[in-house]
Amino acid sequence: MSQALIGKPVERVDGRLKVTGGARYAAEFKVANLAHGVLVMSTIANGSISSIDVKAAKSAPGVLEVITHLNAPRLRFPERPQVNDDGVAPVFGRALPVLQDKTIYFNAQPIAVVIAETLEQAEYAATLVQVAYEERKPVTKLETEMASAFPPQEGLMKEPPTGRPADYMRGDPDALSKAEVKIDETYTIPIEHHNPMELLSTIAEWSGDKLTLHDKTQWVPNTQSHVALVFSIPEENVRVISPFVGGAFGSSLRPWSHPVVAAMAARAVKRPVKLVVARNQMFTSHGHRPYTVQRVALGATREGKLTAIVHEGYAQTSLYEENTESLVNATRMLYASPNCITKYRLVRGNIQTPLYMRGPGECSGVFALDSAMDELAYKLKIDPVEMRIRNHADVDPSDGLPWSSKSLLECYRRGAEIFGWSRRTPEPRSMRDGRYLIGMGMATATYPTLRMPASARARIFSDGTAVVQSSASDMGPGTWTMMKIIGAESLAMDLNKVRSELGDSTLPKGSVHGGSGTTASVGSAIYEASQAVKAKLLKLASDDKRSPLQGATEQQVTFADGRISLKSDSSRGETYAEILRRNRLPSIEATVDSKPGDEGKKFSMHAFGAHFIEVRVDADLGMTHVSRGVTVCGGGRIMNEKTALSQMTGGVVGGIGMALTEETVMDHRMGRIVNANLGEYHVPVHADIPALQAFFVEERDEHCNPIGAKGIGEVSYVGVAAAVANAVFHATGKRIRQLPITLDKLL
């Protein structure tokens, strides 16, 4: 790579489209003769439909059709693991067989769809559908079912999928009982919902046996393959278009019921159908961060060196799938301890299948682990930062592998310095500003560096421009811009002469837009495709007697400013455009299928960071406000400083919401979510968030992938809730182990 574009602050290439309304989201595409679909949801959480009366609905003005399990086409929802694991859907179970039978698995489950000429007509007709049920008592409370908890089946597999749970132990199983000092506490995290601004949306249009879906998705090829499988049609007959995603945070990682229902409806009425899931329906139409109960026990010497770690996690899953996440995985590698035990168990309930939510697994697990580390530090009267430094892992304790790169100690040092940690007095309730108790807390952040198979195309045109393409999604962090930057630098071209294209299944298959792996995966593919197309250009010139580069090899030339020239004589060279025009070629291209090698067997690859948080707690009312925040991260090579800093601060905002406001409340008598709206499910607003600071430690990782990117989307979120909880304890002397930290828990 010759030009210095990577790492510089670059404006979003899609920014103007978004702020002017020019960006088209899934529900905004103009399609002729469009009808509208509205879902009807169950009003019970467990049982079956005994009768469903759609006469009034079908007779309502504008209604074209009402589809229920009685008249829906029979579709294919095969059991896993007979189908390939896509890395997002649970390995075991079966996707919700929407509108296929009378069984009710959870409250507000889709049981019918009304299709009408207008949205208003469909919404009204949906209220006319009459349903009678055979109801059974729902099971939705994890604590009452823990006796029936079970290890996930994939944990018993010979080789569990990457990042998935299996019981783990190293060292002495009785080390905890022998520790000089120990703590043993339980931490609880409620169900949390993603709540992006853009609702789940699909426009489905059939043309013979071919289907086009404008769909909100974080993984275009996955939606394509899922819908093709369900309808038993070839994948190439399904086109999925998703150029812009209005936030997702994991909610659109896998296709839920809506694209299938939209396609079903469009086929039934023989015209395009738009289906937009309503905000209250979003709380059961996709997954959520699972309810978890975690026991963390730590043993240490009186000098603060860990001698034992025990981490047991219990998580909810649905009746029909075994959703798992890496809840206890960070505990195995984050701190040095010769003895460690982790255990992960599932509890079934009448809920929608949970799903990854930003920082999945690690976000919940590190809240418990780093809260416990803080408790141990106070018990030993050791500074919390010093406590973590004393237990820094110089190699991965879980497998003994060296780190591909690690800047965690520098993150601690810089974060403490910028934040002013030295001004903190150690005793709880010792810092005050009038009526406000001041607290300072910190926590460690970590997330694995993932690289997934991805394909990309690089094409150079005879007019001196280029395009890089992949079907990857962009839910907001800047994939459009990242692709353009990597393409321009890899092609050695001016940034303004390269454009990016994404979000269409007709393009080379991109990886899932999640797990902080998009840049590492798609970016590496773009880099490799760019190298391949430059090699093709050089061969054209080298084989051409008319070229000043005749006979030149790769070692003898340089690529810069859209031109190839000899290292020995820069005047001998020609532009890409000149090479193509002389050969009468309108363009030249290369497509590559990029995939990780064996680096994961040689190195442990993670991003690391540290969060420092200051809170102000009203001493009389218990109201808590985050007043300052500093985050320092070692995230490998940063592609775009501007969007990366935005990613970091956005992650901290999400972590503050996890700590202080977000909770999906369940009425366990009916198995019903009672705050399924943005008025009562409290996400942070601008008034809740101070000016946050984020910084990167310069980190060059030569092992993780060709471009050295480690991913920052999740690590920015992981640890924030623990840092806030630790700050609240420092302010008040009250340790809150059940999120969110609301005023009733402090009074």
Compute the half-sphere exposure of residue 536: CA atoms within 13 Å on the CB side of its CA. 18
Does residue 97 register a pLDDT over 90? yes
Q: In what order do the strands lie in the sheet with 306-317?
A: 168-170, 340-348, 306-317, 292-300, 181-189
CATH-assigned architecture of domain 148-191+288-450+601-746: 2-Layer Sandwich (3.30)
Does residue 3 register a pLDDT over 60? no
CATH of 31-137+197-247+252-285, one of 3.90.180.10, 3.30.70.141, 3.10.20.580, 3.30.365.10: 3.30.365.10
Spatial contact of 118 and 36, defined as CB atoms under 8 Å apart:
yes
Does residue 104 register a pLDDT over 70? yes
Does residue 40 register a pLDDT over 50? yes
Model pLDDT, residue 2? 44
| Interval 597-645: pLDDT, tens | 999 999 999 999 999 999 999 999 999 999 999 999 999 999 999 999 9
- What residues does each domain of the chain span? 15-21+452-595, 31-137+197-247+252-285, 148-191+288-450+601-746
Q: What is the DSSP letter of 303?
A: T
Model pLDDT, residue 173? 97
User: What end-to-end distance do the CA atoms of the chain give, in Å?
Assistant: 58
Give me the CATH code for the 15-21+452-595 domain, please: 3.30.365.10
- In this structure, what is the dihedral angle of CA atoms 579, 582, 583, 588, given to the nearest 10 degrees? 40
Model pLDDT, residue 347? 97
| Interval 240-278: pLDDT, tens | 999 999 999 999 999 999 999 999 999 999 999 999 999
Does residue 219 register a pLDDT over 70? yes
What's the CA gap between 311 and 438, in Å, rounded? 31
Spatial contact of 649 and 641, defined as CB atoms under 8 Å apart:
no
Model pLDDT, residue 161? 67
| Interval 441-452: pLDDT, tens | 999 999 999 999
What's the CA gap between 296 and 328, in Å, rounded? 10
| Interval 341-399: pLDDT, tens | 999 999 999 999 999 999 999 999 999 999 999 999 999 999 999 999 999 999 999 99
| Interval 48-79: pLDDT, tens | 999 999 999 999 999 999 999 999 999 999 99
Alpha helices (H) in 272-353, listed in sequence order: 282-285, 329-333
Active site residue 714: yes
Mean pLDDT of the chain: 96
| Choice among 205, 574, 663, 714 that is catalytic | 714
